[in-house]
Homo-oligomer: A and B are copies of this chain.
Amino acid sequence: MNDRARRKIAVTPRSRPAMYDAMCAAVVAGGGELADVADASALMWADPAAADEFPGVVAAAPQIEWVQLPYAGIENFADNLDPARQWTCGKGVYAEPVAEHVICLTLAGFRYLHEAIPATSWPVQKGRNLLGANVTIFGGGGITESLVRLLEPWGTRVTVVRRSTEPFDGATRTVAFVDRLDAVAGADVVVLAAALTDETRGMVDAEFLDAMADHAWLVNVARGGHVKTDDLVAALRAGSIGGAALDVTDPEPLSDGHALWDIPNCIITPHVANTPEMGLPLIAERVRANVERWIRGDELIGPVDVSVGY
């Protein structure tokens, strides 16, 4: 394929106008030329919900060599990934806003925004720094990668707790899940960013909370099920931890009248670490970067392994 032909990129469908427009702009920003599906070398799929029409569109365009999918999870597309083409997805893109929210929640706790925001009189001066703090993160996936990257200039000491003790890039130390209480003990903030599995369900129990320092914050951006909510309520009431900032809860949504609403040092956000609006500019930037790479013939970011389906 010559350079001219390679530049021709299709964006479809149009069922989600905001994503369609953002992807078209990203293709142009990356040096591509917008083209019909029948004429294009590559296809940017612009609606994660429109998986039904996907097989037909792709089958009708055998000349398409590369397909970019919009989300990180591609369950709905996985049965239609033809190994003769290249496939990429939004892998890693959506972890960034979640990592940002971890920093937001941690700083909110350390800086006593839970006391300052409701105040109607000049509050007592106090606060603690994230700069130089000990951060323990559960999970060794994309969110942790992004978080380690964002924390880089803060001079924090990062402990990653994961299944294996394989060193996590950028972490000060990596601790195996079985030794998790050691990793919790010295932390100023404990961040939950792990997938929910049989092993991690309910891991934040009375013993775990007891191992935390009495000034330490618990930040959960993963799944509410990691935490035994009753044990957390008890720890907060007893003052045995500094506070909890939860973007996910169990039950979720947290029911009206639940004890957590009334605990001052429990900050609750409604599962907004990543919203669809936040993801749009991020996937657009991924599309721009990949189009640029495609035209240059460079390796693409976020490749899907067709044999395993993610």
Identify the A interface with B (CB < 8 A): 96-97, 100-101, 103-104, 107-108, 110-114, 116-132, 149-150, 152-154, 253-254, 256, 261-262, 267-272, 275, 277-278, 281-282, 285
Contacts and interface: CB of A to CB of B under 8 A. Distances in A.
Stoichiometry (number of copies): 2
A131 B285 CA distance: 12
A278 B268 CA distance: 26
B117 A100 contact: no
A97 to B, nearest CB: 6
A270 B111 contact: no
Contacts of A150: 153-154
A103 B275 CA distance: 20
Given A96-B131, A111-B269, A116-B267, A253 B104 contact: no
A285 B132 contact: yes
B126 A272 contact: yes
B129 A270 contact: no
A116 B108 CA distance: 12
A244 to B, nearest CB: 13
B104 A100 contact: no
B97 A131 contact: yes
Nearest to A101: B111
Given A121-B261, A129-B100, A272 B111 contact: yes
A56 to B, nearest CB: 33
Contacts of A126: 272, 275, 277
Given A96-B131, A278-B128, A120 B262 contact: yes
A307 to B, nearest CB: 33
A103 B101 contact: no
A100 to B, nearest CB: 6
